[in-house]
Amino acid sequence: MGLIRQLAARDVAERYRGQWLGWLWLVLAPLLMVAVYTLVLRHAMGVRWGAADAPSASGWIGDVDFAVRLMCALLPFNWLAECVSRAPRLVSDVPHLVKKVVFPLEILPWVVAIASAIPLMVGLLVVLAAQGLALGSLPATVLWLPLVWLPLLPLGLGLMWALAAVGTYVKDVGQMVAPALGALLFLSPVFYDLSSLPASLREALGWSPLALVIEETRAVVVAGRLPDWATLGGALGAGLVVALLGAALFQRVRAGFSDVV
């Protein structure tokens, strides 16, 4: 665990090293992103969050409410997207570690998962501050958020193990990830609620663990509802299956990594 923590800290430090604003980007990046999305979607395109985002919710309070609902989806999505986008080159980017027989390559996805959690936590603080500013208080249900996000961890780790295993041998995998994530952005309830979709489409997209986590994040942060434990249990089970399959694939092919990096 100490090695994972050390590598994750170095990963985060290198990400902002040499930049003028440095660690301030942890706060500025989510603020700028959500400001642009709110301006374009709410004011230019007139997007609404169903009945919850009524026309009476105007002015800055309406903007904050819209932004909070949007960020409740973008935070978990961005964490997963960061993990997946880096996965295909996890092994090939560290050939010096691959040559070390004793180095546990299987911890590399853990390093990325923890390093990517730093912007996630900072973004969450921004969301909670905005929600508290708009409503004057926060619902007690936000305390359940760690359990709501828990299914993402095995899902992200499993995808990283699988993509790292395949991407080390097939370099084209890295080129396929970006368009796949772009499609996932619109196939997940990031810019809309699942309840606003037709029943057939809602049922199809509702099988995605990411979609379930996004919906439950809005429930505990915005609506003040307790999580749907059955829904989260299913998402966690799916994530664990992905993790087991990804880890098995990684272990099966890792013996040949040193021959291709």
C-alpha distances out from residue 116 to 13, 210, 249, Å: 12, 16, 23
**Sequence-ordered list of residues with C-beta below 8 angstroms from that of 256, at least 6 positions apart, any chain:** 169
Question: Does the pTM of the predicted model rise above 0.85?
Answer: yes
Rama region for 139: left / alpha / beta (φ>0; ψ in -120 to 50; rest)? beta
| Interatomic CA distance for residues 49 and 58, integer angstroms | 13
Residues of the chain with pLDDT under 70: 18-23, 46, 49-60, 101, 135
Query: For residue 51, what pLDDT is reported?
Result: 47
Amino acid symbol at 248: A
Quick one: which of 94, 147, 103, 79 has its CA closest to 4?
Answer: 103
- pLDDT tens for 42-88 read 777 767 765 445 444 556 677 788 888 899 999 999 999 999 999 99
Supply the pLDDT for residue 19. Answer: 67
Cβ atoms 16, 40 nearer than 8 A: no
